Chain A
Amino acid sequence: MKGDAITSRGGAISLRLAVAAILGCALLAIPQLVSPYQTLLLTYGLVMAIAALGFNLLLGYTGLLSFGHSAFFGTGAYTAALMAKYLGIHSMETFILAGLATAFLMSALFGVVCVRHTRIFFAILVMALSQVLWTLAYKFYGITNGTDGLNVPFPTLLGGSLTFRGAGAYQRFIVAYYYYVAVLFLLSAAVMWMITQSPFGKTLQSIRDNQTRAEFIGIRVRLCRWMAFLFSGTFTGLAGVLWLPLNRHVTPDVLYWPFSGEIVFLTVLGGFQSFSGPIVGALAFSYLKTYAVAWTEYWQFLLGAVLIFLVMALPTGIVGTLELLAARLKWPSFKPRI
């Protein structure tokens, strides 16, 4: 298997590019082929994929499990919602820039505290800090409307050149917004891919694999972890901003820690040991959750059972399991080296 991969490395890369191109074309064609509802689901999936890509820079590449990424997702979402409410801004681009800035600041702040710890302490600490934001959103009723949440109208896209009012606004928005998110998703994935393949990405992996050795060869472990935290939180914040126009309503639930659990869940579902795992997991989770909710009132039960099954039987997730199958059947490997 290993020998195969080395000798056919060039072939594997061009094959991978071909697959990526086919998937990219499919991504563009989808709204023309499926119902608006399916398009909406897919958009949700793509937004969560951006969040999961950010999350996995910490879990998969740096070896830090954060149980508090709802903080950054919620920061993005609330930044946009508060701007719409108090500043009367409706431009999506402004939302994105502001959301990126606040999520960046928030993750910089959280990171300083959290990266001093690893493993379980790290997980609990991020979780505890994320709940500070939750209580603020929950308790400052006068500003955030508390659990009633904030409603947001359709934003304008592309510097105000696309507005959505009047009859059929919803349908038009869904299709346009799908493309908007799809482009940003591809962009995010490309940037994340470059981060993971850069010397910095490799440094993170060396820290994950052996912190002591990484320190010995002169790597500033804590600084690198902090930077990973920063990128990770900012990506997830972007997802939060993009999520808001889909839901058009934000409550403190996106800051509450079970939502962080959801991000963890979908990453494990796809498989955190590969680059594509979180993307596959986010898309699969979007459908899994929607159909589970439609099928039974007790969908959480179902999700819990799926999670336990995954960890017990398929700890490498969907992508890892497919890899394994492919290896058994001697298919060429698509797995980008993590």
Chain B
Amino acid sequence: MDVLVFQILNAVYYASVLFLIAAGLSLIYGVMGIVNMAHGSLFALGAFVTATITQYAAGHVPTLLLFLLLPLGAVAVGILGLAIEPLLLRRLYVRAAEEYPLLITFGLLLILEDAMRFVWGSNPISANLLVQYLGSVSIFGSLYPIYVLFVIAVAIVTGLALWLFVYRTKFGIILRATAQDMKMASGLGLDVRRVYMLAFAGGCFLVALAGAVVVPYQAAVLGMGMDALILAFVVVVIGGLGSLKGALVGALIVGGVRTVGIEFFPELELASLYIIAAAVLLVRPTGLFGTKS
């Protein structure tokens, strides 16, 4: 019984992290029509920055305060996003091809991966302190780390906030209008440039938040972004690129399949995900909730 509950919690934890990553990817694609290849690297960057902040702050501030410092890594990457968009991407909107942003962000990926290797070296960095601080909870007589539940809570709160932001605020309306028809939005006097910049920064913030909440539980290592990117692709392919609901459902499916796979067929666990993604695309070309083709 306890094993079953643990596995379900593991799956939900996994889905929570993937949801944050995929929501960022989908936000950027939904508004700007850009698939950000550097998305995984921004995830890793969020993890590294957060781990470093936690390590420096540990011992100087009460551990409870460290939880408030967690989003700092995400904020830093969000600010980086504010710089990346006008510097690298803005000039490409006039070109019709979707391929150029893909190439630019692939270049950015190469740069970021090496920049992280330069700054942090190849040793894993952990912020395990926070997991220890929260301790464990007893479920059916077995211990389970509370921190995992915290991550799930963060993802739920962030998801709700994002949904309210997109569907219930004025800026959300502007965002959706721009996503639907950029030229028309611009014609109506909306500052499309600003919307693009903020959407990109928002996507960066979300993915880095995933990195930030993951890092106390699983250390920041080089290359973590590469795997994350592929998994995020699988999530958005299943759920539909550009859809928030799709990111959620896709993340739950991938989280579930992965947990089952690790338990029963570890060799084929990753392969089965890709095959599911391909199967979904065969049946529903735009993913389960995608609208754009």
Contact = CB atoms under 8 A, between A and B. Distances in A.
Which of A116, A121, A123, A306 has most B Cβ within 10 Å?
A: A121
B270 A124 contact: no
A305 B114 CA distance: 11
Contacts of A315: 95, 100
B104 A300 contact: no
A121 B281 contact: yes
Interface in B232-281: 233-234, 236-237, 241, 266-268, 270-271, 274-275, 277-278, 281
Contacts of A299: 114
Given A128-B233, A268-B103, A305 B282 contact: no
Contacts of A129: 274, 278
Contacts of B270: 131-132, 135, 139
A199 to B, nearest CB: 26
B99 interface: yes
B98 A120 contact: yes
B9 interface: no
B233 A124 contact: yes
Contacts of B29: 120
B267 A264 contact: no
B110 A304 contact: yes
Contacts of A257: 226, 230
B111 interface: yes
A136 interface: yes
A136 B272 CA distance: 10
Nearest to B112: A304
Contacts of A116: 281-282, 285
B115 to A, nearest CB: 7
B108 interface: yes
Contacts of B288: none
A307 B107 contact: yes
Given A116-B285, A298-B114, A128 B88 contact: no
A128 B237 contact: yes
Given A120-B241, A298-B114, A301-B115, A125 B278 contact: yes
Interface in A45-85: 59, 65, 67
A150 B35 CA distance: 35
B107 A305 contact: yes
A303 B110 contact: yes
B91 interface: yes
A220 interface: no
B214 interface: no
A311 interface: yes
A116 B230 CA distance: 21
A258 interface: yes
B117 interface: yes
Contact of A301 (B110, B277, B293): B110
A296 to B, nearest CB: 9
Contact of A117 (B102, B275, B281): B281
Contacts of A59: 99
B144 interface: no
B230 A131 contact: yes
Nearest to A308: B107
A140 interface: yes
A113 interface: yes
B109 interface: yes
B106 interface: yes
Given A113-B278, A117-B281, A123-B102, A307 B267 contact: no
A136 to B, nearest CB: 6
Nearest to A141: B267
B110 A300 contact: yes
A128 B234 CA distance: 7
Given A125-B237, A125-B278, A128-B278, A311 B107 contact: yes
B140 interface: no
Given A311-B104, A312-B91, A121 B99 contact: no
Given A128-B234, A301-B111, A113 B103 contact: no
Contact of B271 (A136, A258, A311, A312): A136
A208 to B, nearest CB: 11
Given A131-B270, A135-B271, A304-B108, A124 B35 contact: yes
A139 to B, nearest CB: 5
Contacts of B112: 304
Interface in A161-177: none
A337 interface: no
Contacts of A256: 226
Given A121-B285, A125-B278, A258 B226 contact: yes
Q: Which 8 A-B pairs have the closest CB atoms?
A: A304-B110, A307-B107, A301-B114, A304-B111, A135-B270, A308-B107, A304-B107, A298-B114
Interface of A: 59, 65, 67, 113, 116-117, 119-121, 123-125, 127-129, 131-132, 135-136, 139-140, 256-258, 261, 264-265, 268, 298-301, 303-308, 311-312, 315
Given A139-B270, A300-B110, A304-B110, 8 more contacts: A121-B281, A121-B293, A132-B270, A300-B111, A301-B111, A307-B104, A308-B88, A312-B88
10 contacts: A132-B271, A261-B106, A265-B106, A301-B114, A303-B110, A304-B108, A304-B109, A304-B114, A307-B103, A307-B104
